[in-house]
Structure 1
């Protein structure tokens, strides 16, 4: 057993329920490794675990993503060794800690040229962009797509990547500052949803054709405008709940608006398709980042003890790009 410091929650609620506490970390079980954290990613899914929107057994750690050094290896692990630089973006929750035990299959090796804070901040968001753009709907050259919250952590990565793939990218934002950021990261057209009708602007931009796909991580507040932005037989990729979950949907509305499709994908199901899927997804991400086509910018850094403030800033939409905790 080793004593480490970790953020723990004993009950669900606001950011104030998180506290930095000493905890005992055991030797990794068979198939696991201990990762000593160098940087820890902060993501919206962490706020869902904290608030109870996505329930976790309590008391609990929190956090899904980090980069660091393999400190110990459990029995049966052959893919990693002590001293390897790795990153991960999957459960069990508990990444907000000085060290964490995870399944070796969930950790990917970080190539030279990728910094620790960049790796930590891009795994969950970058792998999300990877499966959404390359698997859920395979974006091709010449297509026009819409990405809600284009200046958010996933949005900044995805818009650059979609532009690199040859798409025309429309992004939505909530301020002129974020509009500027979105334009700098691949958006050909930016819609300020606080001032403009999103679907009307999409119709105008596309000359009435509308879109084959809309990527929506906002949820409740944007659901109808997303549907109204789609061409017949178009796909709404709903992958987040930043404004609250979409509930009580009348499926008949999909027929009325053009025989539309809706999917609610998660990274877990794509990463679990094959034993090597996670590393293959990560290699695709690392390659596009190392090429310079996608730039990862860590805009906010907080001490591990400042996790509550990081959540307050994230939920108030005060953050841009990526945020990390530093143990």
Structure 2
């Protein structure tokens, strides 16, 4: 028997239960991981709330963690018992002491990266990797807009953009978060609590706007983001922190300058074991070189996952939060 967080109905953090369960034996192509640290991400709240329905209820929760291989399936050759590994692309169930998942979802974890670092960085770091290096491959010299720049993903984006020689304008909700984003490497910040985002982008770019805007907020910032994209530029809508973007009129893209829009995911880019490991290797290299620093601002016991999610949803967290079994 082991412990895990599960939910039997959709709702707020109070639906999360800390329960005993019997972990399955790994199938032929699966691995069972003894988690040492677990990542907390906004997408977890989407599954809990029902925005992203899980395969079935009751359901486990969480996609990200790091630990030690405890058992391997008969057809698994790339991992052995005792290997240090990390994962970030599911299946659900990472909020647990033991997690069974396909070997294709695992990456090998270098000795230089701790379990806590890996759990704090995998999903957010892989997100930044595909956003800045694949969706719109930044060359250096660009001026970009990134919403929620002081959050978990935003903090890594600030650092990575600076390492690439990119001027990142970050939106934030307070003076404290503005200072945090600047300390992480943002070129400029816009405090939307009292500043007009579109007007400030025009001022900061001498009226040219940005060739790419990264928006993980969703509904509340959709139109603002469109107004910050330069003609023939790209809006990357990669999250729904304020709710899903719905009812989109494609004609608005023509009106605002023949714009492009994409709605990518980590899984859509880390779609083979080889590509996933390549992305992780670049991420780990950024950490080992010191260009990307992992700030773990909060640590919660696994049993306190509901409190951790409540703090995340209330935007009371900065940097990364992890759960410890």
TM-score (ref. length: structure 1): 0.98
How big is each residue's C-alpha offset from its partner over 1:34-53, in whole Å with a ceiling of 9 and x where there is no partner?
A: 00010000000000000000
CA distance in 1, matches of 2:84, 2:214: 32
How is 1:24-173 mapped onto 2 (pairs within 5 angstroms)?
A: 24-56=22-54, 57-173=56-172
How is 1:3-22 mapped onto 2 (pairs within 5 angstroms)?
A: 3-22=1-20
CA distance in 1, matches of 2:287, 2:209: 30
Instruction: Extract unaligned runs of 5+ from structure 1.
Output: none
Aligned length in residues: 324
SS at match of 2:276: helix
Runs of 4+ in structure 1 over 6 Å off: none
How big is each residue's C-alpha offset from its partner over 1:66-117, in whole Å with a ceiling of 9 and x where there is no partner?
A: 0000000111111110001100001210000001001111111111211111
CA distance in 2, matches of 1:121, 1:168: 25
How big is each residue's C-alpha offset from its partner over 1:270-290, in whole Å with a ceiling of 9 and x where there is no partner?
A: 111x44010000001000111
CA distance in 2, matches of 1:184, 1:207: 24
1:283 paired residue number: 281
Instruction: Extract unaligned runs of 5+ from structure 2.
Output: none
How is 1:232-243 mapped onto 2 (pairs within 5 angstroms)?
A: 232-243=231-242
CA distance in 1, matches of 2:86, 2:64: 7
CA distance in 2, matches of 1:91, 1:183: 32
TM-score (ref. length: structure 2): 0.99
The question of whether the paired residues in 1 share the 8 Å contact of 2:151 and 2:318 is answered with yes
How big is each residue's C-alpha offset from its partner over 1:185-233, in whole Å with a ceiling of 9 and x where there is no partner?
A: 1101000011111111000000001110000000011111101001100
CA distance in 2, matches of 1:116, 1:26: 23
Give RMSD over aligned pairs.
0.7
CA distance in 2, matches of 1:140, 1:113: 28
